[in-house]
């Protein structure tokens, strides 16, 4: 270590100078922080999921196999229940619709005409396989992304379910 160059020859094992001790602390902090930064950078590249509305999926020309969150309204009359918990429904933003297939229990507040956020994989143009359908805890609540996606397509009707309706409860 170059730091030791000017220091009188005390064996470093016996007593570290203040400077050296500080260096040890800073170096070990640097190692841990570097490790963390690396992990974060790696994870941010690989494990984040983008949110799109049905129209954006088409506009962006996303390739099949892309993992994403798809949000919009569950189109009225589109819900079909099949065997083995298979459910098909259409998610729409008023302009474009995407068919979603999902296998599993739907959350309590999943209803036709209501906002929904699903996460899964794009299978092809207009087809999406969801592996999770996100539950909301309040029937008047519209996921913010869904509200924005609807607004973008000009299909926002204030007075129906508002995003951030102030009367709804907050907890935690």
Partner 1 sequence: MFVEIGHFALALALGVAVVQTVVPLWGVARNDPALASVGPAAAIASFLLVALSFGCLVMSYATSDFSVENVAANSHSTQPLIYKLTATWGNHEGSMLLWVLILVLFGALVALSRRSLPPKLRAGTLAAQGSVSVAFLAFTLLTSNPFRRLVPAPGEGQDLNPILQDLGLAIHPPLLYVGYVGFSITYAFAVAALIEGKIDAVWARAVRPWTLLAWTFLTLGIAMGSYWAYYELGWGGWWFWDPVENASLMPWLAGTALIHSTVVMEKRDALKVWTILLAILTFSLSLLGTFIVRSGVLTSVHSFASDPQRGLFILGILIAFIGGSLALFAWRAPLLKQGGLFAPVSRESALVVNNLFLATACATVFIGTLYPLVLEMVTGDKISVGPPFFNATFVPLLVPLLLLLPIGQTLAWKRGDLLGAAQRAQVAFGVGVVTSLVIFAFVRGGPVLAPLGIGLGVFLVVGAFWEVGERVVGRASGASAMLSRAKGLPRSAWGTALGHAGVGISVIGIAAVAWGTESIGMLKVGESLTSGRYTATLEAVTPRTGPNYREDAARFRIVADGRELKPVEAMKRIYTARAMPTTEAGIRTVGLGQAYISLGEPDASGAIAVKLHDKPLILLIWIGALVMAAGGALSLTDRRFRLAAPRRTAAPAAMPQAAE
Binding site for partner 1 (CB under 8 A): 16, 18, 21, 24-25, 28-29, 32-33, 35-36, 39-40, 42-44, 46-52, 69, 81, 83-85, 104-106, 108-109, 119, 134-141, 143-145, 148, 162-172
Cα separation of 70 and 52, whole Å? 5
Nearest distance in Å: CB 84, partner 1: 7
Q: Is the dihedral of CA 99, 152, 111, 139 positive or negative?
A: positive
Nearest distance in Å: CB 100, partner 1: 16
Cα separation of 70 and 50, whole Å? 9
Cα separation of 45 and 109, whole Å? 32
Decide whether 97 or 136 has the Cβ nearer to partner 1: 136
Considering only CA atoms, which of 87, 136, 128, 132 is closest in space to residue 110?
A: 136
Nearest distance in Å: CB 118, partner 1: 12
Nearest distance in Å: CB 55, partner 1: 14
């Amino acid at each position: 270590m170059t730091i030791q160059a000017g220091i009188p020859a005390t064996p470093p094992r016996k007593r570290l100078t203040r400077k050296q001790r500080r260096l040890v602390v800073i170096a070990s902090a640097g190692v841990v922080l570097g490790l963390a930064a690396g992990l974060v950078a790696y994870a941010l590249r690989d494990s984040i999921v983008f949110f799109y509305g049905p129209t954006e999926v088409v506009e962006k020309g996303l390739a099949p196999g892309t993992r994403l969150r798809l949000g919009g309204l569950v189109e009225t009359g589109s819900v079909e229940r099949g065997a083995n918990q298979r459910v098909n429904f259409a998610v729409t933003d008023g302009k474009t619709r995407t068919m979603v297939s999902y296998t599993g229990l739907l959350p309590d507040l999943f209803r036709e005409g209501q906002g929904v956020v699903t996460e899964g994989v794009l299978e092809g143009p207009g087809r999406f396989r969801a592996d999770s359908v996100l539950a909301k805890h309040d029937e008047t609540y519209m996921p913010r992304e869904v509200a924005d996606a609807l607004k973008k397509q000009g299909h926002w009707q204030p007075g129906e379910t508002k995003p951030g309706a102030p009367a709804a409860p907050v907890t935690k």
